[in-house]
C-alpha cells in the first residue's frame, strides 16, 4: 500500500533513486520476496550505482524512509524482521479451524528418510528466504544470529540425537573472518554435545563469489580471526545478503534434494493426503 503521510519535494537525483528502488522492490515482490533495507542497498551496490560504504547505506535509508512517507514506495516493500508483534490465533467457528487444519496438516516426511536435514542461516535478515526454501521440503530451519548461544547449540544437539540418525545442517553465512569461522564453530560444538551432525557450508563460498561477483567489503581487521582469514582469502570479504534470494533458494533446494529418497517421500505424501481427506469429512459434518 502506498500512502502519503508527509509531502516532500525531491530533487531529480533523489527521484531517480526512488524510481530505481521501486523497480528493484517490484522485481523481488514478483518473485514472492520481501526486502530488508540492507538487501535493497546491496542491489544498488551490485549495480555500481552507489559505493559500498556505511555513509551510502545511511543515505539510502534516509531516501527510502522519506519516499515511503511521501507515498512513493509501498509500505509493505521494506520489512524489519527483528521487531514483530506476536498475536494469538483466533477462529470464527469450528469449521474454520478444521479448514485451517486441512490446509496445513503435514506428516513428518523426514521420519522415513535415512538422514535428517536442517537449514541454518547466520543472519536474521535472510530468514524469509531460508524459510521459504526450507518449507518446500518440510525442513527445520534456524536463524543463528551470528554465533549461537551455548544453550541453543545444546538444545540443537539434543534434538539431533533424538532423530536417531545422521543429521546434515546446511549452513549459510557471510564470507568474512567470523562468518567463515562460524561453520567450524557449529561443527565443533555439536560434536562436543555428542550429536551425529555434519555441518555443510553451502554459502557463501569463494566459488559463488567468483560466479556471482557480489560487492566486496574490506575484511574486518579488528576481528580476532582476521589475520587467518586474510592469509587464506585476501583482504576482501563478502556478505550473504548480496546474493539474489533466488540464488540462495536454488542452493538450498539443490543440496536438500540430494538427501531425499523420492520413493519413501512419495509414500508419506500419499498417506498425508488420505489423512487430509479425513479432516475434510469432519469439517463437512459440522457445516
What pLDDT, on a 0 to 100 scale, did the predictor assign at position 83?
Answer: 67
State whether 119 and 63 are in the same domain.
Answer: no
What pLDDT, on a 0 to 100 scale, did the predictor assign at position 99?
Answer: 86
What pLDDT, on a 0 to 100 scale, did the predictor assign at position 177?
Answer: 96
**Total domain count for the chain?**
2
* Residue 77 maps to a domain: no
The domain in which residue 41 lies consists of 12-69
What pLDDT, on a 0 to 100 scale, did the predictor assign at position 205?
Answer: 97
* Residue 272 maps to a domain: no
* Residue 130 maps to a domain: yes
* Residue 175 maps to a domain: yes
State whether 243 and 147 are in the same domain.
Answer: yes
Q: What are the per-10-residue average pLDDT scores of the chain (287 residues)?
A: 91 95 91 87 88 92 94 86 75 84 90 97 91 96 95 96 98 96 97 97 97 90 90 95 92 97 97 91 81
State whether 120 and 62 are in the same domain.
Answer: no
What pLDDT, on a 0 to 100 scale, did the predictor assign at position 147?
Answer: 95
DSSP strand E in 11-149: where? Answer: 116-121, 141-143
CB of 37 closer than 8 Å to CB of 81 = no
What pLDDT, on a 0 to 100 scale, did the predictor assign at position 11?
Answer: 95
What pLDDT, on a 0 to 100 scale, did the predictor assign at position 59?
Answer: 95
CB of 165 closer than 8 Å to CB of 204 = no
Cis peptide leading into residue 204 (ω within 30°)? yes
Amino acid at each position: 500500500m502506498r500512502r502519503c503521510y508527509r509531502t516532500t519535494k525531491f530533487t531529480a537525483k533523489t527521484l531517480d533513486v526512488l524510481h530505481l528502488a521501486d523497480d528493484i522492490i517490484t522485481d523481488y515482490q514478483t518473485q514472492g520476496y520481501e526486502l530488508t533495507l540492507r538487501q535493497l542497498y546491496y542491489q544498488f551496490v551490485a549495480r555500481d550505482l552507489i559505493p559500498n560504504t556505511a555513509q551510502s547505506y545511511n543515505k539510502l535509508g534516509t531516501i527510502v524512509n522519506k519516499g515511503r512517507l511521501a507515498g512513493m514506495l509501498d509500505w509493505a516493500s521494506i520489512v524489519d524482521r527483528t521487531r514483530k508483534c506476536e498475536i494469538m490465533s483466533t477462529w470464527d467457528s469450528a469449521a474454520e479451524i478444521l479448514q485451517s487444519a486441512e490446509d496445513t496438516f503435514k506428516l513428518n516426511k523426514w521420519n522415513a528418510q535415512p538422514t535428517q536435514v536442517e537449514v541454518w542461516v547466520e543472519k536474521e535478515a535472510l530468514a524469509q528466504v531460508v524459510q521459504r526454501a526450507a518449507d518446500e521440503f518440510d525442513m527445520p530451519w534456524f536463524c543463528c544470529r551470528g554465533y549461537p548461544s551455548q544453550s541453543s547449540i545444546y538444545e540443537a544437539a539434543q534434538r539431533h540425537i533424538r532423530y536417531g540418525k545422521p543429521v546434515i545442517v546446511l549452513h549459510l553465512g557471510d564470507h568474512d573472518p567470523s562468518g567463515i569461522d562460524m561453520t567450524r564453530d557449529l561443527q565443533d560444538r555439536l560434536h562436543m554435545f555428542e550429536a551425529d551432525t555434519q555441518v555443510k557450508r553451502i554459502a557463501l563460498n569463494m566459488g559463488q563469489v567468483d560466479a556471482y561477483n557480489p560487492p566486496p567489503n574490506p575484511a574486518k581487521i579488528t576481528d580476532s580471526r582476521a589475520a587467518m582469514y586474510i592469509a587464506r582469502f585476501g583482504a576482501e570479504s563478502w556478505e550473504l545478503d548480496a546474493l539474489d534470494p533466488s540464488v540462495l533458494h536454488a542452493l538450498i533446494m539443490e543440496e536438500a534434494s540430494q538427501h531425499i529418497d523420492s520413493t519413501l517421500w512419495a509414500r508419506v505424501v500419499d498417506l498425508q493426503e488420505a489423512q487430509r481427506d479425513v479432516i475434510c469429512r469432519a469439517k463437512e459434518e459440522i457445516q
